[in-house]
Amino acid sequence: MPPAPLPVILDVDTGVDDACALLLAARHPALDLRAVTCVAGNAPLDLVVANTLTVLDVAGRHEVPVAAGAGRPLLEDPADARHVHGRDGMGDLGRPRSARVPQPVHAVELLRSQLMAAARTGEPITLIPLAPLTNIALLLRTYPAVAQGISRVLFMGGSASTGNATASAEFNVFHDPEAAAIVLDACAALGVPVTMYGLDVFYEPQVTAAQAGELIAADPAGPAGLAGELIAYQCARFESQSATIGDAGAVCAAIAPGGIVTRTLPVRVELSGRHTRGRTVVDQRDPLTHDPHGRPDAVVDVAVDVDGAAFSRLWLDTVGFHTVGGGC
Ligand code: BDR
Ligand code: CA
C-alpha cells in the first residue's frame, strides 16, 4: 500500500513561480494540500489572492481553502516584484478570474485552525512558505501552540551565497527581514525543524521553452497549458531558452527529499546593514569553535545541492500528465 499523502499547506505570493508550485502541490498524489494562505510579495495582496484562486480552479481544486493574510511587511514598506511577474503578478496570461472568494478569515486564523486540528489528530503538517514570511511570523508569535501541528517548515528563501533582490539578499527575506528573523527564532524556540530551499538551488530545475510548448499543446485550457504558459512567460521575460520552476522546487523537495543535499548550519538574518539587510548569514565555518556574537539559536537544514533534472522531470510529469518528453 502506498504511504498516506503528506499533509501540506502552502503560503504564497502568487507570483509566476508560486503558480508553478501550486499546480504541483494541487496535482501530486503524494501530497494532501490542506490549505493555501496568501501574503503580499510578488504582487499586492488582492492580486495574489486572485491569482491563487485562478490556479486552483485550473487545477480542479476548488475545495482547497484559501485565505488572505498580511497586506504588507512588518516594518518595511511594501515593494512588489511586478517588473518580473507582470502587471497582474502572474504573467498577464489573461486567464479568467475565479468566481470563488477566499475564506472570511485572516490567513493566520486559517493556519491556526488547520495546524491545531493536525496536532489533535497526530498528523502534523509540512508548512511550505514560498513568499515573504510575514504570515508565518505573525502565526508563530500569536499562536505558538501551533508548533505541535507542524512537522517541518520548508521555506523558499534566503541564500548561502549571492542574493537576487540585492547583491546580498534574496527577495522573500529582503521583503520582510524581521519576519524571517522571527520565524527562525520561533522555530528554534519551539523545536520546529526548518529546511531552507534558497537561491543556492532555486535556479537549477529548468524547463525549456520547447517543453513549455508541448505542455500548452497537450492541454491548452487546463493545468498543463497554464504550466506551459508560466514557463513560456519567464523564457520571454528573460530572453532565455529555459526557465526555472522556482518555488515549485521547494514542493519537489517535500515530495522527494532525496533530491536535495542539505547541510545543517547556523543561520542568522541580517537586519541592519545598509547593503546587507535581509541577507541570510549561513555560518559554514568548520569547525565552528567561537563566535563573538555567541552561537545563533537557529540551526537550519540548508539545501546546498539539488538534482535539478529530477525535479524538472517530477514537475513536468505531474503538471503535464506525462505528455512531455526531452531533457534540459
Ligand atoms: C522568490 O521571490 C519571488 O520572486 C519568487 O516567487 C520566489 O519565491 C525568489 O527570490
Ligand atoms: Ca514566491
Pocket test for ligand 1, best of 39, 156, 173 (most atoms within 8 A of CB): 156
The strand pair at 280-282 and 260-269 is best described as antiparallel
Low-confidence ranges of the chain (pLDDT < 50): none
Distance, CA of 103 to CA of 113 (rounded, Å): 12
pLDDT of residue 328: 53
d(CA 254, CA 249): 9
Confirm or reject: Cβ of 172 under 6 Å from ligand 1: yes
* Residue 81 CB less than 6 A away from ligand 1: yes
Q: What sign does the dihedral 121-249-193-73 (CA atoms) show? A: negative
Q: How far is the CA of 290 from the centre of ligand 2 (A)?
A: 35
Closest by Cα among 87, 170, 160 to 131:
170
**Count of CB atoms situated within 10 Å of the CB of 131:** 31
| Ligand 1 within 6 A of CB of 320 | no
Provide the pLDDT for residue 294: 87
Torsion of CA 150, 168, 44, 187, to 10 degrees: 20
Joined together, the cell numbers standing for residue 190 give 519551539
Q: How far apart are CA 322 and CA 324, in angstroms?
A: 6
Give the residue, by CA position, lying nearest to ligand 1 atom 7.
247
Q: Does residue 80 line the site of ligand 1, with CB under 6 A?
A: no
CB of 64 within 8 A of CB of 103? no
Q: How far is the CA of 42 from the centre of ligand 2 (A)?
A: 7
Q: Is 15 in the pocket of ligand 1 (CB under 6 A)?
A: yes
Query: What residue owns the CA closest to ligand 1's atom 9?
Result: 171
* pLDDT of 295: 81
124 lines ligand 1 (CB under 6 A): no
Å from CA of 56 to ligand 1 middle:
19
Q: How far is CA 255 from CA 19, 30, 84, 269, in A?
A: 17, 7, 28, 27
- How far is the centre of ligand 1, averaged over its atoms, from the C-alpha of 210 (Å)? 23
Distance 184 CA to ligand 1 centre (A): 18
**Is any ligand 1 atom within 6 A of the Cβ of residue 234?**
no
The edge-to-edge listing of strands for the beta sheet with 260-269 is 66-68, 31-38, 6-12, 125-129, 150-156, 194-197, 299-306, 260-269, 280-282
Residue 164 CB–ligand 1 contact under 6 Å: yes
Residue 85 Cα: closest atom of ligand 1: 4
> Quick check: CB of 128 below 6 Å from ligand 1?
no
pLDDT value at position 200? 98
